[in-house]
Amino acid sequence: MTAFRNFVAAILILATVPLMGQKESDLVGAWEETSPGGTKAVWIISKDHFSIAYYQQQQFEYTEGGKWALDDQGMVQLTWEFHTKEKDKVGKQERYPIKKTKAGLSFRDTQWQQVDKGKPGKLAGAWLITGRQRNGEMRNRQPGARKTMKILSGTRFQWIAYNSETGEFLGTGGGTYTTVKGVYTERIEFFSRDNTRVGAELPFSFELKEGKWHHSGKSSKGDPIYEIWSTRTSLGI
């Protein structure tokens, strides 16, 4: 009788635990979806942040992103920091059903295919620029409402410049990347400011020092750059 009571008690406890379709770690990485009209969407999900870029061939369309989490019901909660198509979403939260299946990911009535699981990139995560060299002098930057974020999965990257309070959008670009023997190489698939840069391959030297990403080389315009990026987790932002 005691064993039966323990069994019933265990069932009752399990019945009160919310069922979740997936864990947060199941979603981290890059996902891709292509609409019937040919628009390609790339969704990069880091531990706490996300970005989705929509583009077609060489033409950038729009982007959205910010913070995310799974709630107790297994719903994904999005908090927008930028949305170039629906600016009024900035600062707001919405919840959506989300489900990982054998075929990929079901989200907002679309099916997404997994590109990577956050591997093998050494720089996977969400970063904010905290230092930039000008006239030979490194100047520190404390991120506020005005942010420049670079978010990376294992093979995909996107940078976004925006104001998370006003919703102002200043530019974005992205594509694929590799990290080999201290060289970080970007291959541009979309660029909001100048679509003639699509297809360019840009190599940079990179080094991780005390958890910060030191990034140097030449920009898409050919100008020399030296930047320092810090993870959003380390900044608590």
Q: Where are the domains of the chain?
A: 21-116, 125-235
Q: Is the pLDDT assigned to residue 8 strictly greater than 50?
A: no
How far is 107 from 100, CA to CA, in rounded Å?
A: 9
Confidence of residue 74 (pLDDT cuts 50, 70, 90): confident
Domains 21-116 and 125-235 share a fold: yes
The string of pLDDT tens digits covering residues 48-70 is 999 999 999 889 999 999 999 99
- Residue-level pLDDT at 10: 44
Q: Is the pLDDT assigned to residue 45 strictly greater than 50?
A: yes
> What mean pLDDT comes out for the span 149-163?
98
The string of pLDDT tens digits covering residues 119-134 is 988 999 999 999 999 8
Residues 186-194: contacts with CB under 8 Å, at least 24 apart: 186/157, 188/220, 189/42, 189/55, 190/53, 190/55, 190/58, 190/59, 190/60, 191/60, 191/220, 192/60, 192/63, 194/220
- List the one residue out of 38, 51, 45 whose CA is nearest residue 84: 51
- List the one residue out of 73, 68, 79 whose CA is nearest residue 25: 68
Of the chain, the percentage scoring pLDDT greater than 90 comes to 80
> What mean pLDDT comes out for the span 201-209?
97
Q: Is the pLDDT assigned to residue 11 strictly greater than 70?
A: no
Confidence of residue 188 (pLDDT cuts 50, 70, 90): very high
pTM of the model: 0.89
Of the chain, the percentage scoring pLDDT greater than 70 comes to 91
How far is 37 from 16, CA to CA, in rounded Å?
A: 44
How far is 34 from 12, CA to CA, in rounded Å?
A: 44
User: At the topology level of CATH, where does 125-235 sit?
Assistant: Lipocalin (2.40.128)
CB atoms < 10 A from the CB of 100, how many? 16
Task: Answer whether 52's CB lies under 8 Å from 61's CB.
Answer: no
- Residue-level pLDDT at 7: 43
How far is 217 from 64, CA to CA, in rounded Å?
A: 28
Q: Is the pLDDT assigned to residue 159 strictly greater than 80?
A: yes
**Top-tier CATH class for 21-116:** mainly beta
